[in-house]
Structure 1
């Protein structure tokens, strides 16, 4: 049995408008200059307190807890205003459904989002039933700590050598390496492809349509796919 773990922001969903908008409004509310857009997107993948701490100066560190709460409020506001929620990247549904049909694959999530945020995305897009293990900032230390992966391995009983993480950030690739699994980077996310290569991605793909072939090459899948009975 193989386990395929997905990051969420920048990998499955394009949440940059929500993240940048919420972070900018949060800093403005606190009377602080908003961090540059690239800096904001560069910390996506970390748990929220660490992400905001990384965007503040040493003198602003006492404000981090308040900024965290402000960010949550603004993110929820944007979800109400943008009723369709964070959009999935093109091909995400098809890739997930193709993998879910295999009888030799389990799917999971490893994200810096909260469980509440993850539940909202999976429910909005009707994807919850495809995933057997959900690991978030609520039940594990922030990436790049490998605890999310270790939790998933323990829950599923799959070996590290048969597990692959799909992600868009250097934090994802660092977490994969620390956990002793392989990582596939995606170029459509929030960090440049070279950063993913530099942090140990086995391969970086440009489209979801390339994912199954990349997994087959890493995991030694045969050409013929054995699918679950509908």
Structure 2
């Protein structure tokens, strides 16, 4: 009997790469451009994973929509500028053992890898090309085409594109938004402890990993 195809979906920021330096710097710049005090480091990391049009109002609910729009655009410009200045590998370094683990998972014939991220397609393309990872991912879901996490649209679309049932898919992420999105889509979620939300916030996760190298074993455990 042929084994079913399995879809392993990854978040990006806080899961595959540590981009918090540029995220916080770009957010600080964007708020300063809007002549408004910047949120603190913890607050900024707390919204990573949300689409910007949802994240900015959470950070500054008292500001009008027109100012939110200015902050969103200023953030995008500042983030792209910082990344261009230092290069993707420096700006958003991969977490330890991420590349080797991705390559090992990709080498298994029944595994298919995907991405579900709050990044734009432009931002995701820059990340994948900068790290030489584009060939690994067969489906790439971004904020341009979906409601913000934790809405299940990204996962549901990935499943439909690949033709994989929810029970044969998994979402890997570092935030409560990732785990809630997985639950809403009927897909198990595996949380990681090295990202931007605390393990205690990942209540919807089936399990939580502290080392990237543990992921293959966790998937074997999940799928028997």
Pairing 1:134–2:134 present: no
Deviation for aligned residue 1:60: 4.0
Pairing 1:38–2:42 present: yes
Question: Please, which of 60, 75, 98 is the counterpart of residue 56 of structure 1?
Answer: 60
Q: Which moved more, 1:151-160 or 1:77-86?
A: 77-86
Provide the alpha-carbon RMSD of the alignment. 0.9
Deviation for aligned residue 1:120: 0.5
Deviation for aligned residue 1:59: 3.5
Structure 1 residues 94-147: Cα deviation after superposition (integer angstroms, max 9, x where no partner): 110000000111100000000000000100111000100000001111100000
Structure 1 residues 64-95: Cα deviation after superposition (integer angstroms, max 9, x where no partner): 01111100111011112222331110111011
* Contact 2:166-2:186 at 8 Å conserved across structures: yes
Tell me the equivalent position of 2:214: 210
* Contact 1:45-1:171 at 8 Å conserved across structures: yes
Deviation for aligned residue 1:3: 0.5
After TM superposition, the score normalised by the length of structure 2 is 0.95
Tell me the equivalent position of 2:75: 71
Distance in 1 between residues matched to 2:32 and 2:136, nearest whole Å: 39
Distance in 1 between residues matched to 2:63 and 2:212, nearest whole Å: 42
* Contact 2:26-2:79 at 8 Å conserved across structures: yes
After TM superposition, the score normalised by the length of structure 1 is 0.93
Tell me the equivalent position of 2:166: 160
Structure 1 residues 30-68: Cα deviation after superposition (integer angstroms, max 9, x where no partner): 111010110000000100111111111324443101111
Match of 2:94, SS state, is coil
Question: Please, which of 106, 124, 128 is the counterpart of residue 118 of structure 1?
Answer: 124
Match of 1:107, SS state, is strand
* Contact 2:152-2:184 at 8 Å conserved across structures: yes
* Contact 2:171-2:190 at 8 Å conserved across structures: yes
Distance in 2 between residues matched to 1:10 and 1:121, nearest whole Å: 13
Which residues of structure 1 form unaligned runs of 5+? Answer: 221-230
Match of 2:66, SS state, is helix
The 5 A counterparts of 1:79-228 are 79-83=83-87, 84-196=90-202, 198=203, 200-220=204-224
Q: Which moved more, 1:142-151 or 1:73-82?
A: 73-82
Deviation for aligned residue 1:29: 1.4
* Contact 2:7-2:114 at 8 Å conserved across structures: yes
Which residues of structure 2 form unaligned runs of 5+? Answer: none
Point out 4+ residue stretches in structure 1 off by more than 3 angstroms: 59-62
